[in-house]
Amino acid sequence: MSKRNRLVYALVGLVVLLLASAGCGGGDDSSPDLIGAYPARVDQSGWVESLPDAAQIVYHATIDLQVRSVPNSVEDLKDLAHEHGGYLTSAQTWYDDHDENATVVIGVPAFNFDLLYDDVLRLGTLESESLRGELEPYRGRDWDESIMSTITVHLSEKGASMRLEWPNWHAANTFEQAFGVASALFRFLLDAVIWIVVVVGPFVLLGWGARKLWQRSRKPRPETQEEES
């Protein structure tokens, strides 16, 4: 049984208990006990005031959600409130160790509370929730539209609580520094190789070719060797 259903049963039971306690008071022996009655007011014309309409239970919820993106979820909550005839009451964002959080309060007509509540839960992973209800008496025409429920949503990003932190582990800082030095050294060596290939390479090839030509020109021909012999 959900928290909302338990709350409904508890409130209905309380109303029934109060009515029973008021109607079952002790009487004298000559008259039967009155089970329950509503004191009617009769004016001079003989008109009797009717029984009051049933009161409505108005819910107010508080939800903790983990979401992928806090800014996007704030906009989603605003849109959902408008879709169900409500509005954004307040929104507050803050940062905790570079992690963004937000608290958003949205209001909606009481008769649309269940629909909005279900849509809000679909925005992320539910961490905790609390629900309270209160009885609103009948207040005339447009009563249903004037009664507003509220949902307060605390948003935090997924994965933020699972990040590993080593505030006193110097080895992690040393590894990061060493990796940075190694990366800088590798970039320097790569730059040096590029400079050598592009700038020095053509001159080396020209020198090697000239040396080969000079060696070939200095080598004695076969005819010259036979004449000398």
Average pLDDT over residues 205-221: 75
pLDDT at 150 over 90: yes
Q: Which residues of 16-54 are buried (b: 16+ CB within 10 A; e: fewer)?
A: eeeeeeeeeeeeeeeeeeeeeeeeeeeeeeeeeeeeeee
The HSE-up count of residue 168 (CA atoms within 13 Å, CB side) is: 0
Instruction: Give the model confidence (pLDDT) of 59-91 as tens digits.
Output: 999 999 999 999 999 999 999 999 999 999 999
CA–CA distance, 176 with 112 (Å, rounded to integer): 54
How does residue 32 score in pLDDT terms, banded at 50, 70 and 90? very low
Choose from 43-57, 94-108, 207-221 the range with maximum mean pLDDT. Answer: 94-108
Lowest-confidence pick of 96-110, 124-138, 207-221 = 207-221
Instruction: Give the model confidence (pLDDT) of 116-147 as tens digits.
Output: 999 999 999 999 999 998 887 766 566 566 78
142-147 CB contacts, 8 Å cutoff, 24+ apart: 143/56, 144/56, 144/109, 144/110, 144/111, 145/109, 147/56, 147/58, 147/109, 147/110
CA–CA distance, 86 with 35 (Å, rounded to integer): 43
Domains of the chain: 62-160 (3.30.70)
pLDDT at residue 201, as a whole number: 76
pLDDT at 53 over 60: no
CA–CA distance, 108 with 77 (Å, rounded to integer): 12
